[in-house]
């Protein structure tokens, strides 16, 4: 229902921004000035703060017949959630006849300001839990984070680690066999992968349901991919009911050179 979208704590299918993911201590330096933004995740800023894009009304500006494409626009005022500059952003969704969904973002700003927009859809491919899905991610490294999801500034190799999806692996098996404390139940994957291929010609990730014989390929020109297995989903949903593959820039890039 309409009200559920306005009060959705899970970012179901949302466009997250201005800055998706976490900003350490909800502050950063920009052009010599210390900027303080909304704290909505403990001491940190998550997905753009309390007035983030996911909780705003967007305006439909173009719409094709047959419902194959739609473009929406939103204006974020200077100072929204503490971020500098007005941002006028558009998102275009296009569904092709061969079952490809393309999401394109375009933004203009009135002054320097960080922007890191992502799509936060959850995928199950018809399974009861994403833990049954096979996953492959084209990444040789992931960002080391502390227990609050804030990067330490170090990228670690995925090879021979609990974070390896270099070859297709079942998400639940990887998670169950993991010894890393951040992956222990009831937690799970909520980590940022450094993508090898940053073009739209080769898939950066592939998700597979063997039960339903379905495969989804994700293409992006972003630098990174946040893998989130939905451990915080709650009523009316259940933990791990869907997995997010959030194509985005690096977490907390404003605080890590």
d(CA 156, CA 96): 37
Cis preceding-peptide flag for 46 (omega within 30 of 0): no
Catalytic residue among 51, 127, 136, 246: 246
d(CA 169, CA 140): 15
Catalytic residue among 120, 136, 191, 222: 120
Give me the DSSP letters along 71-90.
EEEEEE-TTGGG--S-EEEE
Residue 75 bridge partners (DSSP)? 88
d(CA 153, CA 145): 8
152 sits in which H/E element: strand 151-157
* 226 contacts 250 by C-beta, under 8 angstroms: no
Residue 101 bridge partners (DSSP)? 95
Asked about 136 being catalytic, the answer comes back as no
Asked about 44 being catalytic, the answer comes back as no
Tokens of 243: 């997995």
d(CA 227, CA 208): 15
Active-site positions read: 120, 246
């Amino acid at each position: 229902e309409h009200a559920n979208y306005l009060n959705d704590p899970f970012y179901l299918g949302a466009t997250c921004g201005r800055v998706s993911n976490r900003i350490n201590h909800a502050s950063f330096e920009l052009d010599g000035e210390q900027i303080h933004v909304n704290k909505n995740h403990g001491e940190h800023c998550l997905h753009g703060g309390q007035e983030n894009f996911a909780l705003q009304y967007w305006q439909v500006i173009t719409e094709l017949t047959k419902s194959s494409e739609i473009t929406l626009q939103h204006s974020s005022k200077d100072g929204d959630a503490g971020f500098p500059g007005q941002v006028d952003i558009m998102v275009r969704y296009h569904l092709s006849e061969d079952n490809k969904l393309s999401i394109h973002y375009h933004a203009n700003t009135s002054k320097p300001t960080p922007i890191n927009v992502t799509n936060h859809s959850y995928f199950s491919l018809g399974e009861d839990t994403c833990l049954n899905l096979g996953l492959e991610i084209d990444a040789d490294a992931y960002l080391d984070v502390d227990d609050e999801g804030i990067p330490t500034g170090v990228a670690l190799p995925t090879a021979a680690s609990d974070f390896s999806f270099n070859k297709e692996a079942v998400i639940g098996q990887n998670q169950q066999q993991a010894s890393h404390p951040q992956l222990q139940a009831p937690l799970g994957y909520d980590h940022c992968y450094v993508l090898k291929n940053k073009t739209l010609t080769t898939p950066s990730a592939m998700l597979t349901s063997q039960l339903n014989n379905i495969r989804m390929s994700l293409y992006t020109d972003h630098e990174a991919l946040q893998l989130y297995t939905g451990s915080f989903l709650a009523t009316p949903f259940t933990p791990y009911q869907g997995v997010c593959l959030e194509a985005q820039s690096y977490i907390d890039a404003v605080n890590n050179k």
